[in-house]
Amino acid sequence: DIQVTQSPSSLSASVGDRVTITCQASQDISNSLNWYQQKPGKAPNLLIYDGSNLETGVPARFSGSGSGTDFTFTISSLQPEDIATYYCQQFDNLPLTFGGGTKVEI
């Protein structure tokens, strides 16, 4: 299985701050990585697919980059509504695997 290590597990930032989350895959997965946002009591919501593509309707302050084994997710200016847990997910190989999550607080 491909392991995906996400860091940090939690972070605290202020409104307007730039927030960065990283995911490292245990092997080269090209750009086969997605990012989701999950708010408490809700299902995950797809934000970024194929490493860097913004899902339709997702605000442009969210972005993703990287390829190979190292990936970065960025919120350019943190908003109060961005409080959530964020997950990366690799799809280069089955089984599909998720990172452990990053809880973002203000």
Partner 1 sequence: QLQLQESGPGLVKPSETLSLTCTVSGGSFTSSSYYWGWIRQPPGKGLEWIGSIYYSGSTYYNPSLKSRLTISVDTSKNQFSLKLSSVTAADTAVYYCARLPGFYPTGAFDIWGQGTMVIVSS
**Cα separation, 88 vs 71, whole angstroms:** 9
Exactly one of 23, 44, 62, 66 binds partner 1 (CB under 8 A); that residue is 44
Q: Which is nearer to partner 1, 35 or 78 (CB)?
A: 35
**Does residue 76 bind partner 1 (CB under 8 A)?**
no
Q: Are 74 and 58 in contact (CB under 8 A)?
A: no
CB of 14 to partner 1, least distance (A): 26
Residues in contact with partner 1, total (CB under 8 A)?
A: 25
Q: Which of 83, 63, 81, 79 has its CA nearest to residue 71?
A: 63
Which are the contacts of 72, defined by CB distance < 8 A and separation ≥ 6? 20, 21, 22, 23, 64, 65, 66
Rule CB under 8 A: is residue 101 a binding residue for partner 1? yes
Question: Footprint of partner 1 on this chain (CB under 8 A)?
Answer: 1, 32, 34, 36, 42-46, 49-50, 55, 87, 89, 91-101
